[in-house]
Copies of this chain bind each other. A is one copy, B any other.
């Protein structure tokens, strides 16, 4: 089997991964055929999985700890969007021959930090060699009370659409890494890069939206595309108000300087904020929650009926303050 030049599979597991499983007795220090976990009788199990490939989902110069933070972060963001709290995860790693141990050390440190911050543990994995690029696949497990589950499918006509945090920062961070946005300050550029590399899954918010949100999703494909997912699963349309988009100071500056368009921010992915819909009469309760969690929440539009005879049209309309429809590129949908 291929693998880092000097270490075998068992040694890599022993040195870098087994310590991450030390706190969970059911992981058997990664020394058995499988992990055995308890799910409390009043909880359901929430499962999500994501894979990343170097050169596509992360970049060769990315700090290894940030690759771990992002990989675990995007999975935890999926748990947040379901209203679940993190419990455990498994990891498979495909390692090219020339990967150095220092990289693995940094990656394991990144996982360790996330485990401490979000209270979960590695419970299993597999390490293989590959002649291809460094790749990882992570499967995360969360717990949720049945009554607290959030879905994409419950949005109703008249709902108000909210998003946490700010919109489009990660896409700008990626531009910075590609050498663009030189008109911003160094601190602004670094902040945007951090937004791209180190998502902060909105677990506290997701865990409090039951009884409030009719539908929820995390922003991974871009706010327009992810809102379209809600619309498709709920059988509704949506109007997004471009003038209401919450923008970071850095994004606002890039916009004001003409370096990016608002459309760029609306179709940019990787923010890992929560996007959700609530009944208008819950606005006051939501404002209190926003204060309590110190989590900025912005109302950015409303759910509308699907326009008749327009089933093939994009379900999300973006309008400006004068109700003019903005073109956000190909109907605002980023195709893969």
Contact = CB atoms under 8 A, between A and B. Distances in A.
Interface of A: 1-3, 8-10, 26, 28, 31-39, 41, 44-53, 55-57, 78-79, 81-82, 84, 88, 90-94, 123-126, 128-133, 135, 137, 139, 141-142, 144, 149, 151-153, 217-218, 229, 233, 335-336
A144 B36 contact: yes
Nearest to A149: B36
B233 A53 contact: no
B128 A130 contact: no
Contacts of A35: 46-48
A147 to B, nearest CB: 12
Given A10-B336, A52-B128, A47 B123 contact: yes
Given A51-B92, A126-B51, A132-B130, A45 B36 contact: yes
A1 B129 contact: no
Given A8-B335, A32-B152, A128-B57, A90 B49 contact: yes
A33 B126 contact: no
B137 A130 contact: no
Contact of A49 (B37, B126, B131, B135): B126
A49 B336 contact: no
The quantity of this chain's copies bound in the complex is 2
A44 B38 contact: yes
A277 to B, nearest CB: 15
A151 to B, nearest CB: 6
Given A36-B46, A41-B41, A92 B137 contact: yes
A336 B3 contact: yes
A217 B137 contact: no
Contacts of A3: 336
Contact of A152 (B33, B78, B124, B133): B33
B39 A39 contact: yes
Pairs of residues from A and B, 9 with the lowest C-beta to C-beta distance, nearest first:
A132-B132, A137-B137, A34-B48, A41-B41, A51-B92, A39-B39, A139-B139, A9-B336, A92-B137
A53 B94 contact: yes
A124 B47 CA distance: 7
Given A32-B153, A336-B1, A45 B39 contact: yes
Nearest to A47: B35
